[in-house]
Amino acid sequence: MAVRTRGGRGKQPTASDTALLAAAPPESPVPRRLLAVATRLFADKGFDRTSVQEIVAAAEVTKGAMYHYFDSKDDLLAEVYARVLRLQMQRLEAVAAEGGPVQDRVRRAAADVVVTTIANLDDATIFFRSLHQLSEDKQREVRAERRRYHELFRSLITEGQEQGVFTDRVPADIVVDFYFGSVHHLSTWYRPDGELTAEEIGGHYATLLLDALRPGGGTATMG
């Protein structure tokens, strides 16, 4: 990580906290303001179409200042990825660590990732669109962290399948990719002024996932 000055943050922020992170008021310290502004611009116009000049202008900072805190424009993007991965992981770990029936934990996790994603739509937009704009090294790191996240989620699915509360007609791996595809694409169609709240969408998504995992009958494979 290249940011040389940054205070730690309390763990387990709520979804609404995380939205505040992105809103970074102009009086906040320089690196934070740069990150906030960059997130906004990257989501808006894409990484490659956002110039360093625009970022520093929007953050009311000089170029020199930016290069003082960040190694490169790339590094700025890497920080965005690090932030969102850290956040999602924290939330999933919290849910996974709770007690209760596995299907309840899966539902909570599934709904929560939707709500958090919607609360940080810019992050989500960047996440699914800009991975290839990161350097090879950093891509690898991101992918590795992402894999850890998926594996944790998958372990919950597997736990349910082993207990028989979930069907295993479809491999847990596939289920996880299937679900997170849906989640990532929220940034493509979700509009804050739509009919449904983030919580309602989270509920629906979780329902679709849980219903798909219901054991019993199953739909016959066509043929």
User: For residue 123, what are its two tokens?
Assistant: 């992050």
Q: What is the pattern of x (binds DNA, CB under 7 A) and - over residues 135-164?
A: ------------------------------
* Rounded Cα distance, 126 and 119, in Å: 14
119 in Cβ contact with 198 (< 8 Å): yes
In one-letter notation, the amino acid at residue 97 is A
* Rounded Cα distance, 57 and 53, in Å: 6
User: For residue 179, what are its two tokens?
Assistant: 């679900």
74, interface contact from DNA, a copy of itself, none, CB < 5-8 Å by kind: DNA
| CB-neighbour burial class of residue 186 (10 A; exposed 0-12, middle 13-18, buried 19+) | buried
CB of 156 to a copy of itself, least distance (A): 14
Considering only the stretches 49-57, 116-124, 172-180, 213-221, report the one whose residues sit in contact with DNA under the rule CB under 7 A: 49-57
Question: Interface with DNA by CB under 7 A: which residues?
Answer: 4-5, 30, 49-54, 61-65, 67-69, 71-74
Question: Interface with a copy of itself by CB under 8 A: which residues?
Answer: 45-46, 48-49, 103-104, 107-108, 111, 128-129, 132-133, 167, 169-171, 174-175, 177-186, 188-189, 196, 201, 203-214, 217-219, 221-222
